[in-house]
Chains A and B, each alone.
Chain A
């Protein structure tokens, strides 16, 4: 009884304190779509920010990840928060064009972000104005299974990776040993876009990828055909029936040593490790060079925070944005989540081999950093493309039909 009373008293006083605190504080509202681990990291970030700015109260509303994609369209007009999570590049374009995201070029200029976030300038800019604060990204590449290499009797590649010919030759050996050389689960389509993007960027370079995603290049052009020709060399070694399984199901195949390579983003490392892999048998390498002399470009999708046009407290929201962009905040947030900071002044935990490898791979990618097919291309075009890639990996003989469909879509969306 005494305990209960004490508890009730504490509760009442806490309520009183919080209401009195609210009265003095200015509120910044922030809508986000975090999974549990990033959510905890963000709550820590907010706590640090509030400690430094005791007069500001940040109120985070967290949405379910999938539901957020729909709800953001409603809340941006109906009840805009000050800040909202979204993605860089073409993904934010509809909101920028509808005037729902605010121009934050001043935040970039006032905080020296043009230097510290230099690698993300392209993906944060639309028509010369900046609309996003990038705070994290993760590398893509090839994760490989050393145990599968041992089982097939092939020497595992070193950090410099292997040549494309060697890679395909290894695939042949893996196939003979009954091991899938490249696994993927494409029921949600996007994993095949990763494979296609890499073959495309290694064959023709970053600018080709970017122009292709922007609808500037014909699917029946010799360059595009060259990409599919290289993809055709890989096709026989990709897990059969990948169209019916999720990427997590394919991760199970990979973990069980039934597959040797997985073209994936770094977020998959957590899943591989949950499946029992360790730093000893899980390896990372960059995708092999295909056309000699093409500058190496990498995929690193960037997550961003945006100031909404309907923000009620833009001044304090910009303070928070500047804090999110800072090296200190990004180092801490990304260390907690296991991703890479976008701020060049931030540091990465050297004990994590995959983060270090990713950091090295991205900082030496002289060709450029791509966002990913479905963020560089417009939504409808992206989907049509991914269906084509998936179909090619299942029915390579239908190439002409696939290219014709894609070209028709391109001409409809981007009339020449």
Chain B
């Protein structure tokens, strides 16, 4: 007994300490590569962009490699407040956000439509999913031709119907909607595939039970199917919102922000101010990026908060 108690007495001195070390160090060792990447490629650039947004800098270092910018405080942000182009971009971003969410009901509708067993359904599903597979640049080009004045299919169609062709991309009032329509095409396909996988997991016994209780059509969809699709809806909302906010490529390919800047969105305006041929105002571009980041953070924090809450419930 005495020996045993000796052992237990001696034991707390060494092994628990090692165990403590293992417990504290091991997670960090495993996290290290990821954390390193995250700090270097995500956190550090964020800090740098925020710092840069307080400077006026044309992107050049002098011959000795010294930074040539000057500190201007919040002047860049003050200028943003009165910049009409920034206002246009912000409004366009809101249009994108609102209209992009149309991808959800349309995607759901197509998913339900395709969620049946007929011969060749796999082929139809693939065809509907096809637009998501092609690059956004190609989508942009195709739609630009579709809208093109004089030879575009859409132009000819409107000319045939109304006698007066409508060149969407030359019209400052319509251009943003034209680009959003192009963006919706692949986004609907994406949402559709999310819902299709979701529909696979809908419990058949609940459907059966609901049917016995006389549920049909919209009521069945609203009260039985949709609640079970909540995880899919959640992901679909998040990818759609983020897709709408970072929809840079379509604007760049289809209009370069034109005509006279009416189709600009924040991400493109940032590129224009910071990196394009007539830009190189790095500080101002960084300020736009910070504003865009703040808007995105609202949605991203919501996403993280919900994930965290779900984890805790489990």
Contact = CB atoms under 8 A, between A and B. Distances in A.
Contacts of B120: none
A94 B58 contact: yes
B256 A187 contact: yes
A123 to B, nearest CB: 19
B115 to A, nearest CB: 40
Given A77-B60, A395-B172, A390 B259 contact: yes
A138 to B, nearest CB: 19
A103 B280 CA distance: 24
Q: What interface size band does chain B fall in?
A: 20 to 34
Given A244-B167, A390-B258, A390-B259, A374 B61 contact: no
B260 A243 contact: yes
A94 B57 CA distance: 11
A77 B61 contact: yes
Counting chain A residues whose Cβ lies within 8 A of the other chain, the interface size class is 35 or more
B150 A253 contact: yes
B255 A187 contact: yes
Interface stretch (B244-252, B271-279, B299-307): B271-279
A383 B278 CA distance: 6
Nearest to B168: A244
Given A243-B258, A244-B259, A379-B278, A394 B172 contact: yes
A242 B62 contact: no
A63 interface: no
Interface string B90-108: 0000000000000000000
A387 B260 contact: yes
Contacts of B279: 379-380, 383
Given A187-B255, A240-B149, A73 B167 contact: no
Nearest to A100: B63
Contacts of A383: 278-279
Contacts of A186: 259
B260 A69 contact: no
Contacts of B79: 412
A77 B169 CA distance: 40
Contacts of B68: 98
A405 B60 CA distance: 28
B131 interface: no
B65 interface: yes
Nearest to B262: A391
Looking at chain B's contact residues, the main secondary structure is loop
Contacts of B149: 240-241, 244-245
Given A187-B255, A244-B147, A98 B280 contact: no
A70 B274 CA distance: 11
Interface in B168-186: 168-170, 172
A391 B259 contact: yes
A241 B167 contact: yes
Contacts of A380: 278-279, 281
A94 B280 contact: yes
Nearest to B61: A77
B214 interface: no
B58 A188 contact: no
B60 A394 contact: no
Contact of A387 (B261, B277, B280): B261
B76 to A, nearest CB: 12
Interface in A57-107: 69-70, 73, 76-77, 94-95, 98-100
Most chain A beta carbons < 10 A, residue from B62, B63, B79: B63
B225 interface: no
B148 interface: yes
Interface in A166-218: 186-189
Interface in A278-325: 309-310
B84 to A, nearest CB: 6
B68 to A, nearest CB: 6
Nearest to A412: B79
Interface in B31-64: 58-63
Closest 6 A/B residue pairs (Cβ): A243-B259, A244-B170, A383-B278, A241-B149, A241-B167, A241-B170
Interface of B: 58-63, 65, 68, 79, 84, 147-150, 167-170, 172, 255-256, 258-261, 275, 277-281
Given A77-B61, A240-B149, 20 more contacts: A76-B60, A94-B280, A98-B60, A98-B61, A187-B256, A187-B259, A240-B170, A241-B167, A241-B170, A243-B258, A244-B147, A244-B170, A244-B258, A245-B148, A253-B150, A383-B278, A390-B258, A391-B172, A391-B259, A412-B79
